Amino acid sequence: MNNNTDKNKYLNIFHDYMEYFLVYSFFGWVYESIWCCMIYHRRGFINRGFLFGPWLPVYGFVFFIILGLFTLLKIKKPVPVFVTGTVVATLSELIASYIIDAAIGKPMWDYNGYFMNFDGRIALEPSLMFGVLICAAICLIHPAIIKLQNKFRGSKIRNITFIIITALFVIDLISRIWLGSNQAG
């Protein structure tokens, strides 16, 4: 019986964290799509993701780092969350820009026209926006997600929705990797 309880516990943890990943990947995609429409002054839709679906996995992964950091540091108040989030996001974006350049040979963004930019890789305005987003995520959104998860824990609708969205994400990721590898050859 104890083994079954442990199995359910770990399954629930996986379920919760996969939902966090998918939710923040989606929110990141929405943010990037709106942000790029605003900065490029385009009225039409801009899909900022490299996948076909509405998600940017980097936001899901970065949220895990942010959540872990704030849990470790026990930072919960909005101003310290904003300041720490801004610094962490800026450093993450700077490091990511070098990794992406090395991996694909070109930048995915260019902040050269922005005030207080460094080599077009980071800039003050996007850094402050990331700080606001992290503050909203840690202080407002994440607690609301946890409440929703607890409210619908074990619900068939939640489980079916989770399976469908996770499957769509995995199919999207595999198809993008497969298409990318076939186009390279």
**Listed residue (133, 48, 45) closest to 89, CA to CA:** 133
pTM of the model: 0.81
- Whole-number Å distance between alpha carbons of 133 and 89: 10
User: How many DSSP H helices and E strands does the chain contain?
Assistant: 6, 0
Q: How far is it, in rounded angstroms, from Cα 87 to Cα 66? A: 11
Residues in the chain: 185
* Per-residue model confidence (pLDDT) at position 35: 78
The residues with which 118 forms a beta bridge, in sequence order, are: 122
Write down the pLDDT at residue 184: 45
Find where tokens 């990797």 sit: 177
pLDDT value for 182: 56
Give CA separation, 180 vs 51, 90, 109, 145, 151, in Å.
11, 29, 20, 34, 40
Averaged pLDDT in 10-residue chunks for the chain of 185 residues? 76 93 93 78 70 88 88 91 93 89 83 94 94 94 95 92 95 84 50
- Residue 75 is predicted with a pLDDT of 87
Tokens 């399976």, located at residue: 163
Residue showing tokens 């050859």: 185
The domain limits of the chain are 2-184
Question: What pLDDT does 100 receive?
Answer: 81
Nearest to 31 by CA among 116, 109, 130, 169: 130
d(CA 166, CA 18): 8
Taking 3-state DSSP, the helix, strand and coil percentages for the chain, each rounded to the nearest 5, stand at 75, 0, 25
The pLDDT value given to residue 181: 53
Three-class SS of residue 117? coil
Tell me how crowded residue 153 is: count the other CB atoms within 10 A of its CB. Answer: 12
